[in-house]
Amino acid sequence: MPCPWYQDGYCHSPALGEPSSDPVINAVCLGSEAVYKKCPFYRERAEVRREEEGVRRRSGRYGRPLLLIHSLKKCPKSGCEFFVVEEDESGAYLAACNVLRRYLTRYEVPLCENHWKDCPYRRIGVTIESSE
């Protein structure tokens, strides 16, 4: 029986944050339980449930962050005045947008870092601030 985190050529381990084919080694992923349990990305289901419960208990400024989609390893930087960075109790970074009033996903953060001058949400925020 293959590793429970292996599916369609991708590792879906919660230790990765997002599915990836990079750590897949067929001899390990499709090997016996004794073999795949030695993988650094392997997690027991009970351990994952404890982590998920910790996420549900946490509640930040913008609600509850979902570390699988919101956590960042490096501290992000943006020139946007509505871009906010928080550090989670796990040590991960969380980026948020004050205009959207929510945490940004790890896919949205690079847009805020690189294209903040052209951001439509920033324009809305500036308009609101200037009308107050």
Could you read off the pLDDT of 18-40 as tens digits, one per residue? 888 888 999 999 999 999 999 98
Whole-angstrom distance between the N-terminal and C-terminal Cα of the chain?
A: 62
pLDDT reported for residue 56:
47
65 and 25 within one domain:
no
Q: Are 13 and 42 in contact (CB under 8 A)?
A: yes
65 and 23 within one domain:
no
Inside any domain, residue 10: yes
pLDDT of 130 over the 80 cut: yes
- Which run of H or E residues covers position 52? helix 45-57
pLDDT reported for residue 99:
93
Number of domains in the chain: 2
Task: Kindly report, residue by residue over 40-92, the tens digit of the pLDDT.
Answer: 888 887 665 555 555 444 556 788 888 899 999 999 999 999 999 998 878 88
Closest CA relative to residue 87, chosen from 98, 76, 79: 76
Q: Model pTM greater than 0.75?
A: no
Q: Are 14 and 48 in contact (CB under 8 A)?
A: yes
66 and 32 within one domain:
no
Q: Name the residue range of residue 21's domain.
A: 6-36
Instruction: Please give the Cα distance from 84 to 4 (Å, whole number).
Output: 37
